[in-house]
Amino acid sequence: MNIKITSDSTCDLSKELVERYGVEVFPLYVVKDEKHYKDGIEIFPDDIFAHVSSGGKMCTTSALSIGDYTERFKELSPKYDAVIHINISSGFSCCYQNACLAAEEFDNVYVVDSRNLSTGHGHVVIEACQLAAQGLSAEEIVEKLKVFVDKVDASFILNRLDYLAKGGRCSAVLAFGANLLKLKPCIEVQNGTMDAAKKYRGPYDKCMVSYIQDRLANIDELRTDRIFITHSGISQELIDLALKTVKECGNFDEIFVTRAGCTVSCHCGENTMGVLYIHK
């Protein structure tokens, strides 16, 4: 079957991976000063950081509408035997609901809830592409993905809490206290939503190493074909340190380093980094 895999831009896959797997990416919207911009096309994370650092209001993200999805599905549906669209978790956005409503108009469009974000979502997209390359039917791919989504492990360690505070996701007092105590919280995806996990204390580089070692401690329970190191803008020195630490923890076939898009950047700010992998 000739199956097309599509995704929301929240999957944070690099240009190289999008081209390798032939993924069609639908950009979400970023709202800055009440104007809507297409994620990754008209606005980028550094634009958000510059806007906030200059005193601007926090940017927010906005879902694609039913009409947006209908327009894209109408374009792709006649060209392929099937289209499988993979959304950001329904726990974070109404994208999945809107895509499902739009897909009702087409006999060959399938919608999958990734129950994740960033390259946790990206893992689901790549898995779908690999299953399609094996010649599975659209129905078979969708059923396998429903099982696969619960095996994806996504988390990030934050260097700052001011973005969460400004966005109303934690109090200013909590953010101040965390900064004062040099706390670096880990947030993880659980059951399709974000939740706080372990808090690390000390310089960011040391916290980052401890975070990676903790997450990959049970390496025998993990698939080692691929892992993502995804960040919202960290130094090359920290990227090299993260790569070194991941390699010391396990022998992964492919380690992808990707830059987080506007969704993670809007909520977490700069110097956020995560390792995202798959359980067996």
Single-letter amino acid, residue 135: G
Residue 190 has pLDDT above 70, yes or no: yes
Rounded Cα distance, 123 and 267, in Å: 21
Name the segment(s) of the chain with CATH classification 3.40.50.10170: 3-149
Position 266 scores a pLDDT of: 83
Rounded Cα distance, 9 and 127, in Å: 16
Residue 121 has pLDDT above 50, yes or no: yes
- Please give the CATH architecture assigned to the domain spanning 152-278: 2-Layer Sandwich (3.30)
Name the segment(s) of the chain with CATH classification 3.30.1180.10: 152-278
Residue 55 has pLDDT above 70, yes or no: yes
- E strand or H helix that includes residue 178: helix 172-180
Matching CATH number, 3-149, of 3.40.50.10170, 3.50.50.60, 3.40.250.10, 3.40.50.150: 3.40.50.10170
Residue 161 pLDDT grade (very low, low, confident, very high; cuts 50, 70, 90): low
- Whose CA is closest to 271, among 192, 161, 176, 196? 161
- Model pTM above 0.85: yes
Contacts of 36 (CB under 8 A, 6+ apart): 29, 30, 62
Angle between helix axes 118-133 and 138-148 (nearest 10 degrees) is 140
Q: What is the edge-to-edge ordering of all strands in the sheet holding 109-113?
A: 24-26, 3-8, 82-87, 109-113
How, if at all, do strands 152-157 and 183-190 pair?
antiparallel
Residue 182 pLDDT grade (very low, low, confident, very high; cuts 50, 70, 90): low
Residues 188-201, mean pLDDT to the nearest whole number? 84
- Whose CA is closest to 85, among 109, 119, 104, 65? 109
DSSP, collapsed to helix, strand or coil, labels residue 194 as strand
